């Protein structure tokens, strides 16, 4: 039952250097849970809880303002994890998590995770700290982008991050709406729609059904 959890843990940067025997003891404590599409797994401000490891599926990490504006911090897929911060500081959840498709997670209880770190300080704790450092750097870069880059620059960066290579072509196969993109870059849907239309008219993008094709390098400015 826990073999796939162990395999997934070994692929996550904070745990990649942990000896398999040590990691197996953590995997054995996990339980699996399925979440349907559009399930709110965590709400910002929730009490500290378990560590979630995504075995399959996709989630969106986001923040909501009092005015109702939503900003996407990241999109996380199979092989990623979330909920690690409250494991270590007992503070409420710092962001909300919603599924973008049916998602299977492994849950590791907070008390079990803390005990595991104490039992294996050299093998486990330093790896987790390195993983948290990477996460902080990623979030810092995201904040820098929101603060210093204009909407078009943020959108172009997001499109490239979402794209994968298919037959020597950059494509975004996952259905993503203009509102999703707006949430991701911290803009309005109307602005994103206008930019996407201009990029399509200019021959930079082609939208076919659920797939966005990036036909040539996006311009440096809009």
Contact criterion met (CB below 8 Å) for 37 and 56: no
Closest CA to 160 of 170, 150, 147: 170
Coil/strand/helix, residue 85: helix
| Measured CA distances, 55 to 4, 8, 177, 184 (Å) | 8, 7, 25, 23
Q: pLDDT per residue over 78-114, tens digit each?
A: 888 888 777 777 788 888 999 999 999 999 998 898 8
Span 143-169, mean pLDDT? Answer: 78
Who has greater pLDDT, 30 or 11? 30
Which band of pLDDT confidence, cut at 50, 70 and 90, is reported for residue 142? low
Which band of pLDDT confidence, cut at 50, 70 and 90, is reported for residue 41? very high
- Most confident region among 35-39, 84-88, 152-156 by mean pLDDT: 35-39
Percentage of the chain exceeding pLDDT 90: 17
Check residue 1 and give its pLDDT. 41
| Measured CA distances, 54 to 104, 141, 212 (Å) | 6, 23, 25
Question: 146 pLDDT exceeds 60?
Answer: no
DSSP structure class, residue 38: T
* Cα torsion 211, 216, 220, 222: sign: negative
Closest CA to 100 of 50, 51, 58: 58
* Cα torsion 74, 90, 35, 43: sign: negative
Who has greater pLDDT, 86 or 28? 28
Span 183-191, mean pLDDT? Answer: 83
CATH of domain 150-214: 1.10.10.10
| Measured CA distances, 47 to 96, 102, 147, 148, 176 (Å) | 12, 24, 29, 33, 31
Provide the b/e sequence for 78-95 (b: ≥16 CB within 10 Å): ebbbbbbbbbeeeeebbb
Question: 37 pLDDT exceeds 90?
Answer: yes
Per domain, the residue ranges of the chain are 3-147, 150-214
Question: 3 pLDDT exceeds 70?
Answer: no
Check residue 119 and give its pLDDT. 87
Closest CA to 8 of 56, 49, 75: 56
pTM of the model: 0.66
User: Which region among 43-47, 123-127, 181-185, 201-205 has the lowest average model confidence (pLDDT)?
Assistant: 123-127
Span 130-137, mean pLDDT? Answer: 71
Question: 161 pLDDT exceeds 80?
Answer: yes
**CATH fold group of domain 3-147:** Jelly Rolls (2.60.120)
- Report CA dihedral (109, 111, 116, 118) to the nearest 10 degrees: 160
Closest CA to 99 of 120, 71, 75: 75
Span 149-174, mean pLDDT? Answer: 84
């Amino acid at each position: 039952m826990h073999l796939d959890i162990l395999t997934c843990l070994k692929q996550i940067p904070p745990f990649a250097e942990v000896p398999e025997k040590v990691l197996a003891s953590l995997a054995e404590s996990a339980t699996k849970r399925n979440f349907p599409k559009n399930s709110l797994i965590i709400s910002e401000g929730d009490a500290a809880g378990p560590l979630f490891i995504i075995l399959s599926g996709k989630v969106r990490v986001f923040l909501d303002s009092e005015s109702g504006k939503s900003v996407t911090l990241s999109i996380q897929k199979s092989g990623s994890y979330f909920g690690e911060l409250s494991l270590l500081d007992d503070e409420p959840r710092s962001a909300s998590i919603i599924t973008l498709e049916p998602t299977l997670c492994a849950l590791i209880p907070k008390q079990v995770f803390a005990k595991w770190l104490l039992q294996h300080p050299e093998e486990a704790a330093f790896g987790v700290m390195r993983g948290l450092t990477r996460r902080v750097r990623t979030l810092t870069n995201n904040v820098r982008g929101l603060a210093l880059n204009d909407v078009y620059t943020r959108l172009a960066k997001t499109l490239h991050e979402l794209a994968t290579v298919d037959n020597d072509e950059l494509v975004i196969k996952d259905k993503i709406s203009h509102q999703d993109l707006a949430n991701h870059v911290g803009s309005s849907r109307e602005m994103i729609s206008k930019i996407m239309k201009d990029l399509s008219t200019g021959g930079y993008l082609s939208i076919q059904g659920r797939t966005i094709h990036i036909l040539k390098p996006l311009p440096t400015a809009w």
